[in-house]
Homo-oligomer: A and B are copies of this chain.
Amino acid sequence: MATIHDVAHLAGVSKSLVSRYLNDQKGVSPESTLKIIAAIKELNYRPNGIARSLVLQKTHTIGIVVDDLCATFIFRLIEGLERGAEDFDVDEKYNIIFCNSNGDVQRKQRHLNFLMNGRVDGIVLYGSLVYDDTMIQQLVHSNFPLMLIENDIEGTDVNKVVIDNIGGAFMATEHLINLGHRRIAHIGGNMNLKITLDRMNGYVRALQRYNVPVDQSLIIFPDFSDVDEWKKRDEFMSQNLYFDRGYVEMKKLIEKNQVPEAIFFATDLSAFGAIKAMNEVGLRVPEDVSVIGFDDEFRAAGSFNCKPVTTMMQPLKQAGYVGIQKLVYSLGHPHAAKERILLNTELVVRESTCANKRLASAEQDTRV
C-alpha cells in the first residue's frame, strides 16, 4: 500500500502539504493540489485510518457488543442504534460496528478488549447476563465511555438505559387479573439473566396489589443448566431452548394436573412452547387457559408456527436510539453527568388472553 510519503515524493511536495490537502485545510496552492491529486490517483493511495486515529486519539467509531446478534428481536436494537447515530448530528457521522459475543463471557471479554484498545471511542453493551457482572464493573471503573442497555448494575456511575421489567411484569399480571383470572402461574426465564428476577418480582407485586394469594407451586423456573450443551449443536438457536423449556414445564403441569387459569411467561418464546404442549392435549388457548408473554417476539412466532400471543412489548428500538445518542453526546461532553434512563413496556393484546370462564358464566347467570 502506498503511504502519504510516497504520494509526497511522487508529487514532489512534503508530507505536510499532502496531509493538509487530505484534510481540506487552506494553504495549498492550486499547482500543488493538482500534483497531489495526480499522485494519489497514480498510486491508488488511501490514507491509513489507524495511523490517523493514533495521532488524533479519535476513531469516530462506536462499538456495539451484543450477547446474541441472531436473536429474533435484536433487529429492533440495531435499528434504534443506527437511527440514533444517524439523527444525532449531521457532520458527526459515527461508524457503528457490531460484535457478537454469543453469550460467551470469554468472547465478550475478547471483544471488549479489542474495542477498547483504541479501536472505538465508545461502547454500547447490550445484555443482562449476571455472570459477567464483575467484568462490567471493571469496565465501568476503567472509565471508558460506555452505555449499558438493559443491564441495571447497581452502585456505579455509568450511563444506562434500562427497561422497566418489573413494571412490565406487573402490567402483564394485572391484565390477567383484570380478565378475572386468579390461579395465575408464572413460568420464568433463564436465571442467568438479571431481568428474569425483575419479571418475577413484577408478577408477585401485582398479585399482592390485587390480594391474590401467591402460590409458590405456581412460580416455576425451568432448568437452564444445559445451555452449553445446546450451544454446541450445529443448529443451535437460543429461541429453541426457551421454546423447549416452556414446552417441558407445561407438560409437567399437565401431567401433575395443575394447569392454572392463566400463565404469565417471562418470555414469549416459552409461551410458544407451552401453547404447543397444551394444543397436544386439547387444551385451548385462550378459552381454557390465558397466556401472556414478554418481548413481543412476533418474528419468532413464525418459526414455531404459533398463534399471535398477547405480550409486553419492550421498547428496544427506542433504547438503542436514546442510548447511542446519549453516548455520543457524552463523548463531546466528557463531564456530563451520567444518566439512568428508564423506558416503559407496552401491553399488546392479541389472541392468547380472554376473560375467565367463571367470570363469563357468572355474567350469563346475571342475565338469566
Query: Hey, which bits of chain A sit against chain B, CB under 8 A?
Result: 44, 46-54, 59, 61, 63, 69-70, 72, 75, 78-79, 82, 93, 95-100, 102, 110-111, 113-114, 116-119, 142, 237, 298-306, 308
**Minimum Cβ distance to chain B for residue A143 (Å):** 9
Taken together as a complex, chains A and B put the C-alpha atoms of A187 and B78 apart, in Å, by: 31
Taken together as a complex, chains A and B put the C-alpha atoms of A48 and B75 apart, in Å, by: 32
Is B117 in contact with A48, judged by CB distance below 8 angstroms? yes
Contacts of A75 in B (CB 8 A): 69-70, 237
Is A114 in contact with B299, judged by CB distance below 8 angstroms? no
Contact of A49 among B70, B99, B119 (CB under 8 A): B119
Contact of A100 among B96, B102, B110, B303 (CB under 8 A): B96
**18 A–B contacts from the bound complex (CB under 8 Å):** A44-B142, A46-B116, A48-B117, A48-B118, A50-B50, A50-B59, A50-B117, A61-B114, A69-B98, A72-B299, A82-B100, A95-B114, A97-B97, A97-B98, A98-B98, A302-B302, A302-B305, A305-B308
**Minimum Cβ distance to chain B for residue A311 (Å):** 13
Taken together as a complex, chains A and B put the C-alpha atoms of A99 and B63 apart, in Å, by: 10
Contacts of A117 in B (CB 8 A): 46-50, 52
Is A303 in contact with B308, judged by CB distance below 8 angstroms? no
Contacts of A48 in B (CB 8 A): 54, 117-118
Taken together as a complex, chains A and B put the C-alpha atoms of A70 and B316 apart, in Å, by: 14
**Minimum Cβ distance to chain B for residue A367 (Å):** 34
Nearest B residue to A138 via CB reads B44
**Minimum Cβ distance to chain B for residue A141 (Å):** 8
Nearest B residue to A307 via CB reads B305
Is A99 in contact with B98, judged by CB distance below 8 angstroms? yes
Contacts of A237 in B (CB 8 A): 75
Contacts of A52 in B (CB 8 A): 117
Nearest B residue to A97 via CB reads B97
Taken together as a complex, chains A and B put the C-alpha atoms of A69 and B63 apart, in Å, by: 15
Contacts of A113 in B (CB 8 A): 46
Q: When A and B form their complex, which 5 residue pairs have the shortest distance between CB atoms, in order from nearest?
A: A302-B302, A49-B117, A70-B75, A301-B302, A98-B98
Nearest B residue to A79 via CB reads B70
Taken together as a complex, chains A and B put the C-alpha atoms of A301 and B307 apart, in Å, by: 12
**Minimum Cβ distance to chain B for residue A22 (Å):** 12
A47-B117, A98-B100 given; name 10 further pairs at CB < 8 Å.
A51-B118, A61-B114, A69-B98, A78-B100, A82-B100, A82-B102, A95-B110, A98-B99, A299-B302, A302-B306
Nearest B residue to A111 via CB reads B95
Contacts of A301 in B (CB 8 A): 302-303, 305
Known pairs A100-B78, A100-B82; A299 contacts B308 (CB<8 A): no
Is A118 in contact with B303, judged by CB distance below 8 angstroms? no
Taken together as a complex, chains A and B put the C-alpha atoms of A117 and B56 apart, in Å, by: 15
Taken together as a complex, chains A and B put the C-alpha atoms of A278 and B145 apart, in Å, by: 53
Contacts of A69 in B (CB 8 A): 75, 78, 98
Contacts of A95 in B (CB 8 A): 99, 110-111, 114
Contacts of A93 in B (CB 8 A): 110
Is B99 in contact with A96, judged by CB distance below 8 angstroms? yes
**Minimum Cβ distance to chain B for residue A334 (Å):** 13
Taken together as a complex, chains A and B put the C-alpha atoms of A15 and B364 apart, in Å, by: 86
Taken together as a complex, chains A and B put the C-alpha atoms of A46 and B112 apart, in Å, by: 12
Taken together as a complex, chains A and B put the C-alpha atoms of A69 and B118 apart, in Å, by: 25
